[in-house]
Structure 1
Amino acid sequence: MNRTQFLRLCALGAALAVGGPAALAQTYPSKPIRLVVPWPAGGGADAVGRAVAEALRVQLGQSVVVDNIAGAGGNIGTQQFIRQPADGYTLLLATSSTNSANPYLYKRTGFDPVKDFTPVASLAVIPSVMIVAAGAPYKSPADIVQAAKATPGKLSYGSGGVGNSAHLAGELFKSIAGIDVIHVPYKGSSPALTDVMGGQLDYMLDTGAYGQLKGGKVRAVAVASATRHPLLPGVPTFEELGIKGMQMNAWYGLAAPAGTPAAIVERLNGAVQAAFQAGDLGKRLTDVGAELRPGTAASFAAFWNAELQRYAGLVKLTGATLD
């Protein structure tokens, strides 16, 4: 360390000693930030992660590098994340799959679903959409149910991995419809979506297919939300089609390691809210089918807690287990 660096370090220490949290917030961030996305590139989680990384870059004036660390339903990347310093320079794209469902699907996730995280900001929810290949014979969920009952154990649906939103949505549909179909898990939604388009899978309940729907490579036959989706006004909800209880979405939020100083959490949350107000983040998220969920760190923590409870019941209802 040279004399100049030493003096800067001393000045920073003095500022923190005098100003406490306020000084910390003013000096953060002073170097690039890493955003861990525990899913492969190309899927819905990756799209959300890259949107928020760009928004934080603009608001904080530091580069935010997306690090895709996929595997085990998001557990591998999350395990690496919780071992990082609680200094605000490593963040996590928290998802409903990894942070709500996995604690009930895996005997060992490698992390505590509450104690290992500091909720920072809620970002969005994306409703699941039942999609089929553009040339598939199915025009509605009823067609799929009819085909599945005619040939039990023959039809298949895909997901981005055991426990992700597509898997749980698929199991929920199986349970409600009373059908016997095969679940085919992939390492991320992108390869599963590719096989739906190619006809290797019969259908998928996905949250990351809105771009492909625009391109006409797949068709949507129903939306798993309470109301029709703004991007798909011509596609009915399951409720409209008489299939009760078929609602599923994926949620996304920003998290820091446990013990991250409140001043840094406040700074990050403020950056996310400013990005929502500026409009760019909201547009990028709504373009991929998201419904925005701005709010405080405290409101996100309460939502996260409630989702943990909801997914406990959902996993039990569907009977979803590790393959």
Structure 2
Amino acid sequence: MNRRTFVAAGLTGVASAVACAFGITPRSVRASVDTWPSKQINYVIAFAPGSNSDVLGRIMAQKLGEALKDNVVVENRAGATGMIGSAYVAKAPPDGYTLLGASIATHAINPSLFKDMQYDPVASFQPITIIGMNANTLVVSNESRFKSVQDIIDAAREKPGTISYASSGIGTTQHLSGVLLEQIAGIKLVHAPYSGRSAIPDVIGQQVDFMFEGPTVVPQVKGGRLRALAVTSPQRLKSLPEVPTMQEAGVKDYEVQAWQAIFAPAGTPRPIVDKLYQALAQIIHSPDMQARLEGMGVIPSAMSPDDFAVFQKKEIAKWGDLVKSTGTKVE
């Protein structure tokens, strides 16, 4: 490249940067947006098959593919409380062809638990939307001796450190739901993190005493394999109206709500972000999807990218305070 070509290329790059700063989309970017998507979109889910993120992600991927008239392929990259999949997407090209199905754990709780996450939950990503909010449900095997939350508390007080609960990993809301119960009830439980696989079969088989889990347990409860003792939201769920809240079950001031969301790599062109959000919001607001999500115990959201960015920062601060106050550490 001669000096004149080098200078011209440099000026073109500066012009593009200035144009983007003032909200002017460069012609090359406009052309790419006009033809987007022109190939398969990879929807990376940071958790194992069967998890809440996986179930909701697969529903959204199918609907998104139909809306965009192109293939949206799901790929599970589970492990390290969602950090493996998140780090993968953080390093992907910001062209709209790689999305992340993430959660409150990967993008709000993990920063207060892990020193080396290999990604910045804010700077490495472009928020697209929150699919919905959900409570966790405290469940035991249908054959369990525990008939109420108070039964678990009484057993834990009688024999501290003998009652176990499962979660999908350290730092997830399922884990912190147990930590909060310990703190409020003044008990000591044994935490069994199931990173990379579902704990539901072991709870059904009573290898673990109980667990807090999201929407994926609703079919198991309705099918009679699990018994729901309480939900962690301040109100009862439409999907399980007969199940009391933790506060109604006698655990004062108890509340935990999680969320499932979609991110893109930081630097994804705003027109593509807007096109993605518009398609996803339309899907989430559709009557059939609203009914489907509510039936799973999920409160539909479709929060805008800008509002989501503000909300995420508040969530990082909120959960950081809880982790600090309970002394929770990664073992």
Give me the TM-score of the superposition, normalised by structure 2.
0.89
Q: Which residue of 1 aligns with 2:307?
A: 299
Q: Which residue of 1 aligns with 2:51?
A: 43
* From 185, 193, 217, the counterpart of 2:200: 193
Kept after mapping to 1: 8 A contact 2:140/2:210: yes
Q: For residues 157-216 of structure 1, what are the alpha-carbon distances to aligned partners after superposition, in whole Å with 9 as ceiling and x for unaligned?
A: 0011111111111111111111111001112462x1111110011111111311211211
Mapped pair 1:277 → 2:290 = no
Identity %: 39
Q: How does 1:1-323 map to 2 (within 5 A)?
A: 23-188=31-196, 190=198, 192-207=199-214, 208-323=216-331
86-95 or 23-32, which deviates more: 23-32
120-129 or 277-286, which deviates more: 277-286
Q: Which residue of 1 aligns with 2:21?
A: none
Distance, in Å, in 2 between the alignment partners of 1:194 and 1:46 is 17
C-alpha displacement of 1:140? 1.2
Kept after mapping to 2: 8 A contact 1:84/1:90: yes
Kept after mapping to 1: 8 A contact 2:49/2:197: no
Q: CA 1:216/1:189 → structure 2, altered by over 3 Å: closer, same or farther?
A: farther
Kept after mapping to 1: 8 A contact 2:239/2:296: no
SS of residue paired to 1:209: helix
- The amino acid of 1:246's aligned partner reads Y
Distance, in Å, in 2 between the alignment partners of 1:310 and 1:19 is 42
Distance, in Å, in 2 between the alignment partners of 1:92 and 1:225 is 26
Distance, in Å, in 2 between the alignment partners of 1:316 and 1:286 is 33
Distance, in Å, in 2 between the alignment partners of 1:88 and 1:281 is 24
Q: Which residue of 2 aligns with 1:13?
A: none
Q: For residues 290-317 of structure 1, what are the alpha-carbon distances to aligned partners after superposition, in whole Å with 9 as ceiling and x for unaligned?
A: 1111231111111111111111112112
Kept after mapping to 1: 8 A contact 2:140/2:227: yes
C-alpha displacement of 1:280? 3.9
Number of residue pairs matched by the alignment: 307
Distance, in Å, in 1 between the alignment partners of 2:232 and 2:298 is 13
SS of residue paired to 1:237: coil
Unpaired stretches in structure 2, ≥5 consecutive residues: 1-23
SS of residue paired to 2:228: strand
- The amino acid of 1:205's aligned partner reads F
Distance, in Å, in 1 between the alignment partners of 2:284 and 2:196 is 27
Q: For residues 241-298 of structure 1, what are the alpha-carbon distances to aligned partners after superposition, in whole Å with 9 as ceiling and x for unaligned?
A: 3312221122111110011100000000000111123334334433322111123111
SS of residue paired to 1:59: helix
C-alpha displacement of 1:20? 6.1
Distance, in Å, in 2 between the alignment partners of 1:297 and 1:271 is 13
Q: CA 1:317/1:254 → structure 2, altered by over 3 Å: closer, same or farther?
A: same
Distance, in Å, in 2 between the alignment partners of 1:229 and 1:18 is 47
Give me the TM-score of the superposition, normalised by structure 1.
0.91
Distance, in Å, in 1 between the alignment partners of 2:297 and 2:240 is 9
Q: Which residue of 2 aligns with 1:6?
A: none
